[in-house]
Amino acid sequence: MTGWVEVADGVLQGRYEPYDVTVAVVRGADGLLVVDTRGSRRQGDELRDDLRVLGRPVRCAVNTHGHFDHCFGNQCFGPGMPIYGHERLPAQFAEHEAPMLARAVSWGVEGSEEFRDVVLTPPTRLVGAEERVDLGDRVVDLLHLGRGHTDNDLVLHVDGTWIVGDLVEESGPPAYGKDSFPLEWPDTLAALLPRLAEDSVVLPGHGAAVDGTFVRRQCDDITVVADLIAVLHAAGVPVERALAEGGLRWPFAPEGLAEAVRRGYAQIG
């Protein structure tokens, strides 16, 4: 990270490698709220060191979703400190992240040394549809608007600024994984769009801050993916032929859409 950038009043962004992950900080009278904790114990410890320059205590952390690069640093923010996450995030750990962690360590894959000291630490404050966090002079709203990148995506709103995790991507295309919901993702972003003001700042999970126009364009592209999956399925195109049949109609590189197609077909049934 090259330093904290204040993207809106009292809202700061740090961009961390690997993966150009966003860590957001909301500064309040009572201290700091940290959004996402990075991808390992070492990275979490580094983040805690970087936060010291902000001169206020960390009061709580929030996980935007359960993927390793956003929350495997949770263990560095306790014990006793509240960590907020969606109520489905512990199941995400059990079903996806814990097996991935075990495989990475046992197989010795590249970068697995980062995972050896990770203790999976789920949120201590589980959020359903919404929650509010009071930082003394400002309130941060935590909202679950629907399924998309995962089934446990949270977005945060504070004074016109939105922190949206991997529901929106700037430095790469949207990531469709084995736990994504490609047919529902457009509706989730459509629920976000009316809440954005003309001057809203939106922090994606990876990349630079964007605005509502960017989010709308990405929502349109994600809608094209969902609609094309439905059309190909209805036409009887086999799942293994769908990417080729979609051709130039896909708005993103086809090599990144294999899981979107597989998941979409499975969800249609």
Please report, for the chain, the start and end positions of each structural domain, with discontinuous segments joined by +: 5-212
118, 40 contact by CB (below 8 A): yes
Question: What pLDDT is stored for residue 63 in this prediction?
Answer: 98
* Segments in the chain below pLDDT 50: none
**Residue 218, phi-psi category: left (phi > 0), alpha (psi -120 to 50), beta (remainder):** alpha
Question: What pLDDT is stored for residue 13 in this prediction?
Answer: 98
Question: What pLDDT is stored for residue 267 in this prediction?
Answer: 96
* pTM for the whole structure: 0.97
Question: What pLDDT is stored for residue 262 in this prediction?
Answer: 98
- Per CATH, the homologous superfamily of domain 5-212 is Ribonuclease Z/Hydroxyacylglutathione hydrolase-like (3.60.15.10)
101, 117 contact by CB (below 8 A): no
H or E element that contains 187: helix 185-192
**Amino acid of residue 222:** I
Question: What pLDDT is stored for residue 156 in this prediction?
Answer: 99
Question: What pLDDT is stored for residue 180 in this prediction?
Answer: 98
**Whole-number Å distance between alpha carbons of 201 and 25:** 14
**Amino acid of residue 4:** W
Q: How many CB atoms lie within 10 A of CB 268?
A: 11
